[in-house]
Amino acid sequence: KILILDFGSQVAQLIARRVREQQVYCELHPFDVSADFIRDFNPQGIILSGGPNSVYEAEEWKAPQVVFELGVPVLGVCYGMQTMAAQLGGKVENSHKREFGYAEMRAQGHSKLLEGIQDRTNEQGHGLLEVWMSHGDKVTELPPGFKIIGSNESTPIAAMADEARRFYAVQFHPEVTHTLKGREIYARFVRDICGCRGDWNMPNYVEEAIAKVREQVGQEEVILGLSGGVDSSVVAALLHRAIGDQLTCVFVDNGLLRLNEGAQVMDTFARNLGVKVIHVDAVGQFMGHLKGVSDPEQKRKIIGREFVEVFQAEAQKLPNAKWLAQGTIYPDVIESAGGKTKKAHAIKSHHNVGGLPETLNLKLLEPLRELFKDEVREFGVALGLPHEMVYRHPFPGPGLGVRILGEVKQEFADLLRRADAIFIDELRAADWYDKTSQAFAVFLPVKSVGVMGDGRTYEYVVALRAVQTSDFMTAKWAELPHELLGRVSNRIINEVRGINRVVYDISGKPPATIEWE
């Protein structure tokens, strides 16, 4: 397995993805983990990520010295290269001008890392690589024992190696897709140089995960809040496979779910798989507490708080439960080194089940905490969950509560659910569902005038939202075909009495957010 030390790079998670694509297990940890941690991790290789700092400005942003003493291969990327150079006796300088974007790099000399990897050759027969650069500083003097293995005009030392010690470093970012041969470079490092076998794959992982849960839980009982979302569904399927009836799921209908969601969850889990699921109808309770509340953050707080209430009440009926299972996934777990120094600005509070473990006094079981989202999906498929469920768009914890602007009323939720279902239906039929990352309808509590048959109507508006994004941090609105939008609009207005106008949201994120609240 490979250890990645994160120096606060925006793309450190991508390094982890690239390594796992090679079917090699890896973990990402902050760069300042202890020497003992690194030794105990027992990595076959170490990767030092990029980061926003300068080696001569941020003294403490160094790789622990043990990294260079374990005798395992090390790959430095961008800042990782600079700190490697500085720590091993080379020199790093500010180049006064940032190099950002595409660059061409010439492979130089022989190296196990880059040899034979090229996009094309120049007249002299040198291999050329198309790479993605993003740096201000650069290495200007090699540390003893190193040689140059890649260079270009602006960055003469763009890649370096000490093959005897198996230390490699590149100034560019092989983890981004703009570096066309990035995948091969990581393959070289983890497979050929580190000698990792590449036996980390889903079917094996499923077996391992089942065994691990059994060992952890023993004969004890587990409860899980099942929401119908991807993560909790996959956890339910896994736990059911591992411990059968020792698992009890609690499904809370808060009145803010999608059309038929409760029935689908009961069908898939209770009926088909035979999972024990307690279906709690808490619609009245949620609606009661939301009455008269129109502030988005206030609504989120209430929905989160009531969920905890309901869940706790159910949990107390199961005195034998010793474990609380959660669908925490790897991106939730990673403490990025960048995150330690920068506090992200809180635009919306995304709490879902905050506070549960503390108040319930249960042990926490998080069997997906090593997996990325797409791995969770693969895992779900490997466990036999329906493709449709596993590849569903994300749905926010507060549900329709943040898609009904202002005060939430049951009547609004009912209208919205039906409009939303029509939209999703048509997207699927037109093969657009998988081409969008998230699509949904939003209820606007304003009335506008329309005409239907011979009569005047005065009814509500629904907005359609469909976005494409890879990380949900930024997103662009999907350019859905006009005839598809037309069909959706027609169906909603004809089939959902109470809605007489449909609009399409053409705002990107930023400046808008994906949800309307």
* 231 labelled binding-site residue: yes
Can 261 be counted among the known catalytic residues? Answer: no
Q: Does 9 bind ligand XMP (CB under 6 A)?
A: no
Of 26, 29, 78, 517, the catalytic one is: 78
For residue 102, give the 3-state DSSP assignment: strand
Of 173, 240, 261, 426, the catalytic one is: 173
Q: Does 509 bind ligand XMP (CB under 6 A)?
A: yes
Question: Which of residues 90 and 296 has its CB atom nearest to ligand XMP in the complex?
Answer: 296
* 505 labelled binding-site residue: no
Can 393 be counted among the known catalytic residues? Answer: no
Question: Which of residues 32 and 505 has its CB atom nearest to ligand XMP in the complex?
Answer: 505
Q: Does 515 bind ligand XMP (CB under 6 A)?
A: yes
The order of strands in the sheet holding 159-162 is 26-30, 2-6, 45-48, 74-77, 167-170, 159-162, 147-151, 91-107, 127-141, 120-121
Residues 418-447 that bind ligand XMP (CB under 6 A): 438
Question: Which of residues 4 and 257 has its CB atom nearest to ligand XMP in the complex?
Answer: 257
* 451 labelled binding-site residue: no
CA–CA distance, 55 with 62 (Å, rounded to integer)? 8
Mark the segment that binds ligand XMP (CB under 6 A) among 108-116, 313-321, 419-427, 507-515. Answer: 507-515
Question: Which of residues 1 and 301 has its CB atom nearest to ligand XMP in the complex?
Answer: 301
Nearest to 42 by CA among 79, 96, 77, 3: 3
| Residue 151, φ and ψ in degrees, nearest 5 | -155, 165
Indicate the pairing of strand 74-77 with strand 455-468. Answer: unpaired
Q: Which of 350, 428, 456, 476 binds ligand XMP (CB under 6 A)?
A: 350
CA–CA distance, 89 with 507 (Å, rounded to integer)? 51
Burial of 63 (0-12, 13-18, 19+ CB in 10 A): buried
Q: Does 397 bind ligand XMP (CB under 6 A)?
A: yes
Q: Does 394 bind ligand XMP (CB under 6 A)?
A: yes
Can 387 be counted among the known catalytic residues? Answer: no
Question: Which of residues 191 and 348 has its CB atom nearest to ligand XMP in the complex?
Answer: 348
What's the gap between Cα 503 and its chain centre? 30
- Smallest gap from residue 186 Cβ to ligand XMP (A): 29
CA–CA distance, 364 with 323 (Å, rounded to integer)? 6
CA–CA distance, 472 with 362 (Å, rounded to integer)? 32
* 9 labelled binding-site residue: no
* 233 labelled binding-site residue: yes
Structure tokens at 475: 């997103």
- Smallest gap from residue 43 Cβ to ligand XMP (A): 33
- Smallest gap from residue 348 Cβ to ligand XMP (A): 5
* 489 labelled binding-site residue: no
- Smallest gap from residue 63 Cβ to ligand XMP (A): 34
Give helix 283-290 / helix 296-316 axis angle, nearest 10°: 150
CA–CA distance, 483 with 486 (Å, rounded to integer)? 5
- Smallest gap from residue 347 Cβ to ligand XMP (A): 6
CA–CA distance, 104 with 422 (Å, rounded to integer)? 49
- Smallest gap from residue 175 Cβ to ligand XMP (A): 23
DSSP assignment letter at 258: P
For residue 506, give the 3-state DSSP assignment: coil
Sign of CA pseudo-dihedral 497, 503, 507, 511: negative
Q: Does 396 bind ligand XMP (CB under 6 A)?
A: yes
Nearest to 395 by CA among 303, 480, 291: 303
Question: Which of residues 64 and 401 has its CB atom nearest to ligand XMP in the complex?
Answer: 401
* Residue in the structure block whose two tokens are 């990380």: 471
Annotated binding site: 227-233
Residues carrying an active site annotation: 78, 173, 175
Annotated binding site for ATP: 227-233
- Residue numbers of the site for ligand XMP (CB under 6 A)? 300, 347-348, 350, 352, 394, 396-398, 402, 438, 472, 509, 513-515
